[in-house]
Amino acid sequence: MDGLTHEGRNYLKRKLSHLLFEMLEYPQKKEMLYLGICYCQLARRHPLFVVPLEELRKCLSRYLIDFDRYPWRDYLLEWEFFLLQEGEDFQIRGKEIINYKPNEGCSVRIDIHYKGILDVNICERIFRYWFLTKKWDRFLPPSKGWEVIKNAVILLNEGLYSETLFYLEDYLPLIKETEELLMYRVLRSLSTIGELVELRRGEEALKEIAVLGDFLKDFKNDLKRTPYNFRKLRKNLSKLGANLYRNNFLVGNLLYLEEKKGKPLGERVKKFLKWLPIFR
């Protein structure tokens, strides 16, 4: 299989997204990122992305990881798209990895059945996961709709568009208030636009931008009650649209939602807290 089907890409994106959510919720699980980071750093220097296991060991040691104690077999299995290879033909995949004792010439590579993992920018995703888990220390499963929105905005701002969509989908039952539902709609649209731009599907992205622009106009007064600057968002969308017309597919920070400025901090915090359901 030279690439993944649409369903295959969505499956892998969902799997990666849920791995990220687990890493954020359980800090000890962040350790599995070290394996992905080392693989991505080394794969650039090796043809066909086949990385000797001994090189992975040395790379992990730079992060002060004792390879003999590090559950690298379990992590390879959790990432799912890796396998072990010895020589040209002998491959160990799936649950066989857990009990396998590698020989000196053992290497790690992407399973040919998941070759299309490159279509979802796997290494770029792993690095983004790394930086996000370093910055986001207090991630907890949400219990209210606003918490879902707040977390989704953070994911969006990191350029993790499919992760944002899956997060919103997972916690949709918590989103009930009018402002929350409006933000849900905006975030879904922004995430869709981001994904389309990444896939260089500019015409579809422009249509989604136009639809979102009309939505922002129709609900302008309602959105003013949320703590985000939609005037700047409209300007950013306009700039992104102009770039797409010029075949410029760089999203950058154009899709960021930002808290409103201009009022004293105390007043902004008071207004922000009043908007949360618990303070009503």
What is the distance between the alpha carbons of residues 157 and 164, in angstroms, rounded to a whole number?
A: 10
Torsion of CA 7, 11, 17, 19, to 10 degrees: -170
- pLDDT for residue 267: 53
pTM score: 0.85
The pair phi, psi for residue 89, each rounded to 5°, is -115, -25
Residues 19 and 132: beta-carbon distance below 8 Å:
no
Residues 98 and 74: beta-carbon distance below 8 Å:
yes
SS (H, E, C) 50-96: CEEHHHHHHHHHHCCCCCCCCCHHHHHHHHCCEEEEECCCEEECCCH
Mean pLDDT of 64-83: 93
- pLDDT for residue 170: 95
Rg of the chain taking only CA atoms, in angstroms: 22
- pLDDT for residue 262: 54
What residues contact residue 159 under an 8 Å CB cut-off, 6+ apart? Answer: 128, 194, 251
pLDDT digits (tens, 9 = 90+) for 111-164: 888 876 766 688 899 999 999 998 887 788 899 999 999 999 999 989 999 999
- pLDDT for residue 1: 37
- pLDDT for residue 118: 67
In this prediction, residue 181 has a pLDDT band, given cuts at 50, 70 and 90, of very high
Structure tokens belonging to residue 227:
């703590």
What residues contact residue 222 under an 8 Å CB cut-off, 6+ apart? Answer: 178, 179, 182
In this prediction, residue 264 has a pLDDT band, given cuts at 50, 70 and 90, of very low
- pLDDT for residue 189: 96
